[in-house]
Amino acid sequence: MSTTKNLNNKEAIDKLKSLVDEIMICLFCTDLETDDGSTCRPMSAIKVCDEGNIWFFSEKNSDKNKAIEKGKNVQLFFSHPGKSSYLVVNGEAEIILDKTKIEELWTPVAKIWFEEGKEDPNISVIKVSPTTAYYWDTAGNQMINFIKMVASVATGTNLITGNQGALNV
């Protein structure tokens, strides 16, 4: 049985950090008016800061950055099916070109996309400030939940537990 636990402020930011750190990869969607999925692309989140903003590296001239310049509203879909953890974030995106912020967020993995490292002239950072967020987080891993599902069918009682709710950051 799922329990609704809406979280606020620090508790919401801590849950957001926990889920993003665990899942990392999301579908990052721009041009929400088209609503056809063609403007969703996989992106790796760098971190969630103490204010609840989600940070990404991106190429300055990417289609994603061009779309953000036209409309700042984005959606992020995080999914960890192995743990049955999911997160949907609606937010406002901002492109940051500040070298200090790039230095602060830099990780060696980013060099895969930015061969010249932190000094790559095509690097930018995207900050997504959540406006709304909702999570689903089922207790246990996929195998345990499968066993619980089989037992639930046999007993007629839902044995799968978890939490869901709004994250108000």
| The pair of three-digit structure tokens given for residue 59, joined into one six-digit string | 């190429």
Q: Has domain 2-168 been given CATH number 2.30.110.10? A: yes
- Domain-by-domain residue ranges, the chain? 2-168
- One pLDDT digit (tens) per residue for the chain, 169 residues: 467 889 999 999 999 999 999 999 999 999 988 767 788 999 999 999 999 999 999 999 999 999 999 999 999 999 987 788 899 999 999 999 999 999 999 999 899 999 999 999 999 999 999 999 999 987 654 544 444 343 434 445 543 446 778 888 8
pTM of the model: 0.85
CB of 51 closer than 8 Å to CB of 13? yes
| CA distance readout (Å), 114 to 20, 85, 98, 111, 121 | 22, 30, 16, 5, 9
- Strands 40-44 and 162-168, by their bridges, are unpaired
CB of 90 closer than 8 Å to CB of 73? yes
